[in-house]
Amino acid sequence: QVQVVESGGRLVHPGGSLRLSCQASGFDSAYYAFGWFRQAPGKGREGVGCTSVGVGKGFSWYPDSAEGRFSISRDKDKNMVYLQIDNLKPEDTAVYYCAAAQAGYGCYRSRTTPSDYDTWGQGTQVTVSS
């Protein structure tokens, strides 16, 4: 069964950093695009970045709202994808989700349109508070 599981969310003080992990299983993550999303209380699901399939032709994309504070990396040998968040702000408080999309979809086709991703994790809570 294809599955992704997020981990690493916790309480962090403003200005701190976090590295969230997304463990993929049941499929080879090297052939999938990945997106990271978040959902704050009372708000819709918002993409914070994505990474496409490929080595030489692969790319990562971040919306302007990411403010350069988000960075996605992946370890294909370990079937893992990471989200590094720096200089955390209280408004970053949300449940963060990892999602996978088949090649040709997701990041390449639609960036962080949620409907373009078909395998979602359960989410991990990030709370930024002093």
The pLDDT, as a whole number, for residue 79 is 96
d(CA 23, CA 28): 11
The pLDDT, as a whole number, for residue 109 is 93
**pLDDT tens digits for range 46-85:** 999 999 986 666 899 999 999 999 999 999 899 999 999 9
Nearest alpha-carbon partner for 33 in 112, 123, 124? 112
The model's confidence at residue 25, banded by pLDDT at 50, 70 and 90, is very high
Read off the DSSP letter of residue 92. Answer: G
Read off the DSSP letter of residue 22. Answer: E
- As a whole number, mean pLDDT of residues 90-110 equals 95
Please answer whether residues 18 and 5 qualify as being in contact, where contact means their C-beta atoms are separated by less than 8 angstroms: no
Continuous segment of H or E residues that includes residue 25: strand 18-25
The pLDDT, as a whole number, for residue 55 is 60
- As a whole number, mean pLDDT of residues 90-104 equals 96
